Amino acid sequence: AQKITQTQPGMFVQEKEAVTLDCTYDTSDPSYGLFWYKQPSSGEMIFLIYQGSYDQQNATEGRYSLNFQKARKSANLVISASQLGDSAMYFCAMREGDSNYQLIWGAGTKLIIKP
């Protein structure tokens, strides 16, 4: 079974609109972390935002926020006021437990911002 599922292979969004990228996860470990990365066409994987399973509040970093719904096992990334430079692949990833540093990756969502 997929541990990280990103159901949107691609999305088109008008510039300045908000966009939500979906991510659902599957784990039985009570301690886990969820990460979002951005990968522009240049190839570098850029860390955006982190949410811990015990965090009481949804994570926010500038225009990025994470809509964390623990009971539904979803960790959707919200980008407010999208910009042309937001066009990229976006990956959701999970780390299970506290001692294993490895990440489990989703298949990614390709986001294209239209001017």
Partner 1 sequence: EAEVAQSPRYKITEKSQAVAFWCDPISGHATLYWYRQILGQGPELLVQFQDESVVDDSQLPKDRFSAERLKGVDSTLKIQPAELGDSAMYLCASSLGVGGSGSRETQYFGPGTRLLVL
For β-strands 88-96 and 104-105, DSSP reports them as antiparallel
Which position among 47, 60, 112, 114 is part of the footprint of partner 1 (CB under 8 A)? 47
Q: To the nearest whole angstrom, how small is the minimum distance from the Cβ of residue 91 to partner 1?
A: 6
Which position among 44, 56, 72, 85 is part of the footprint of partner 1 (CB under 8 A)? 44
Q: Who contacts 100 (Cβ-Cβ below 8 Å, separation ≥6)?
A: none
Instruction: For residues 16 and 21, give the distance between their C-alpha atoms in angstroms, rounded to a whole number.
Output: 16
Stretch that binds partner 1, among 13-21, 63-71, 77-85, 105-113 (CB under 8 A): 105-113
CA atoms within 13 A on the CB side of 66: 28
Going from the C-alpha of 38 to that of each of 35, 96, 98, the distances in angstroms are 10, 21, 24
Which position among 36, 95, 111, 113 is part of the footprint of partner 1 (CB under 8 A)? 95
Contact positions toward partner 1, by CB under 8 A? Answer: 31-33, 35, 37, 42-47, 50, 52-53, 91, 93, 95-99, 101-103, 105-108
